[in-house]
Structure 1
């Protein structure tokens, strides 16, 4: 079969033994036609009026029934043999980048200057960003008064998106430890072999706790060749901020001045070869991630394994069509009455 289908492999080649049924069936049909096994008998007193009558050309087309049946059986055997495309290696372009998102989860991220709030807007944009990076390893670090690796670097983007869904403001101790959030993200990239290593740091405040200062963490990132994009979220001026969290989970809001340390965020980005962005609403936050996506298109050529593709469907359709044609020929066009 390799001669007829050079680009196809067969999962069950033993099925071709079943093709032996076709010549047996055709042989039986020919013998039956020659010896008239199935013809009925009529008695006439004289055959004089039948002399000179020739068979109609159409009568020979009755043999199409066995042709269609043979083709149908052959196609069914091919389906059973399970044809597949040959596995192959091909060159593809991939981004080859390791990215860690470091997300502030302090209570201030519940501020309502974003829809529905800062943290939910950030989560949505991050997940959209992940969808646009199918070939990259992506991880997630969260920080408040401390830092925690929510998801290590992974190519399983369903897993990391599920972990992002579980992130809630206030799930860590209170405070904003930007230095710890950045240092933890660097630690996730420390052993990375990727050609490009990136951290996207998202916060809405000023670093006020933590053993590691933000600029010290930036120097650590620089040492390991990690580029940091910093994103400050929060409108300019006053925003509806959470001012009291009650034991029953109820949150009291009031308008307060947005306090964002843009100077430090800019210095972190500049020290590592990244860039600082200010997001004041959902639309600008989405635009920032699109720009980062464009900046981090480090295309490299790789060899990729191409998976086998099942090819039985055309043969199954052909078998069905052949059986329908046999049925029409036998019971409609060349109907034989008993």
Structure 2
């Protein structure tokens, strides 16, 4: 088959898909081409009836006592059959209403949420919750505010691991956030490894805007990758990093081991390498935030949401309402009418 014929086939396919009848569109529009055969079938039926030979009766009373099919009935029988077949064809073509696709301008970005799950995230300076619980809650609220953004999740402590690759399946991301637990990875704070892992997920993403949100409550003390070098590499890929330092100022109750009644806490100074986090953000064109309580963390996510908006073209879909029942019912009524007329007139199919 030639390229030209393929192009023409695609053209007619598009024309049929665009067909609208009484506000309806069709899922299988090519089936409607069968409707063009119905006039041919009626013409053939008419010619067949005219060509049928007459039957000779030796006794006229026998014919008079039998059923008397009228000329009117004989004309209507093929018409009713054609109407029945037409209704069936239209039903098979899947008529539906209310559905259409519209191109709309929407905001869409690719976001890698990079979260510290080291043991210090159990510090209880965000009373009545610890840092981990507050971080999960605010993260989930941030994700639930997404509509067209692709979101991924990276957890890190002494090592980093992708929990969810970039996706718009927000329930999966929310479930992964719920499952974040301190102790899932080797303890420590490997900020450079975390940045490199998240950047690797973002560097080939198709989004016009690539964003990394890095949340930590400590200082870089693990990993073979320098955080500044990782930030420079991320910036080269067009990734903007927003860093968040989580923790109050001064002293905070931090878990130092286990006792008879669970974790044992001691008040220790809060150590966040703010100069490093500020430099990482500045290197990539992002911004550093300090979250000293739950309300501040929520406000930070809202501010990041306002800062990162990128217009993209997307499709908005309206759900179809299937309408095949009506032509199917029409066809059944026409078929029942034909059978009733044949039975009444004593005419075999």
Aligned to 1:5: 22
Query: 2:307 is matched with which residue: 276, 280, 295?
Result: 295
Question: Offset at 1:303?
Answer: 4.3
What is the TM-score with the length of structure 2 in the denominator? 0.65
State the number of aligned residues: 250
Would you say the 8 A contact 2:158–2:186 is kept in 1? yes
Aligned to 2:154: 141
Question: Offset at 1:249?
Answer: 9.0
Question: Offset at 1:96?
Answer: 2.3
Question: Offset at 1:223?
Answer: 1.1
Q: Is the counterpart of residue 264 in structure 1 residue 264 in structure 2?
A: no
Question: Offset at 1:201?
Answer: 0.1
Q: 1:25-174 to 2 correspondence within 5 Å?
A: 84-85=96-97, 87-114=99-126, 115-174=128-187
1:138-158 Cα distance to aligned partner (Å, 9 max, x none): 101111111111111111011
Would you say the 8 A contact 1:87–1:305 is kept in 2? no
Would you say the 8 A contact 2:117–2:183 is kept in 1? yes
**Whole-Å Cα distance in 2 between the matches of residues 193 and 103 of structure 1?**
23
Residues 3/307 of structure 1: CA separation in 2 closer, same or farther (3 Å cut) = closer
Q: Is the counterpart of residue 241 in structure 1 residue 292 in structure 2?
A: no
Question: Offset at 1:298?
Answer: 1.2
Query: 2:287 is matched with which residue: 252, 259, 275?
Result: 275
Question: Offset at 1:3?
Answer: 8.6
Would you say the 8 A contact 1:89–1:303 is kept in 2? no
Would you say the 8 A contact 2:24–2:95 is kept in 1? no
Would you say the 8 A contact 1:84–1:308 is kept in 2? no
**Whole-Å Cα distance in 1 between the matches of residues 106 and 138 of structure 2?**
22
Aligned to 2:192: 179
**Whole-Å Cα distance in 1 between the matches of residues 97 and 314 of structure 2?**
18
1:175-201 Cα distance to aligned partner (Å, 9 max, x none): 110111111100111211211000000
Secondary structure class of the residue paired with 1:124: helix
**Whole-Å Cα distance in 2 between the matches of residues 249 and 200 of structure 1?**
36
Secondary structure class of the residue paired with 2:305: helix
Secondary structure class of the residue paired with 2:303: helix
Would you say the 8 A contact 2:101–2:318 is kept in 1? no
Question: Offset at 1:110?
Answer: 0.4
Would you say the 8 A contact 2:23–2:97 is kept in 1? no
Would you say the 8 A contact 1:89–1:305 is kept in 2? yes
Would you say the 8 A contact 1:103–1:142 is kept in 2? yes
Question: Which shifted more, 303-312 or 207-216?
Answer: 303-312
1:59-92 Cα distance to aligned partner (Å, 9 max, x none): xxxxxxxxxxxxxxxxxx9xxx686325423122
Q: Is the counterpart of residue 304 in structure 1 residue 315 in structure 2?
A: yes
**Whole-Å Cα distance in 1 between the matches of residues 314 and 148 of structure 2?**
13
Aligned to 2:41: none
Question: Offset at 1:93?
Answer: 2.3
User: Which runs of at least 4 in structure 1 moved beyond 6 Å after TM superposition?
Assistant: none
Would you say the 8 A contact 2:291–2:297 is kept in 1? yes
Q: 1:179-198 to 2 correspondence within 5 Å?
A: 179-198=192-211
Structure 2: runs of 5 or more not aligned: 1-18, 33-86, 327-349
Would you say the 8 A contact 1:145–1:177 is kept in 2? yes
Aligned to 1:212: 225
Aligned to 1:284: 296
Aligned to 2:39: none
What is the TM-score with the length of structure 1 in the denominator? 0.67
**Whole-Å Cα distance in 1 between the matches of residues 174 and 21 of structure 2?**
46
Secondary structure class of the residue paired with 1:130: helix
Secondary structure class of the residue paired with 2:256: strand
Residues 164/249 of structure 1: CA separation in 2 closer, same or farther (3 Å cut) = farther
Residues 8/207 of structure 1: CA separation in 2 closer, same or farther (3 Å cut) = same
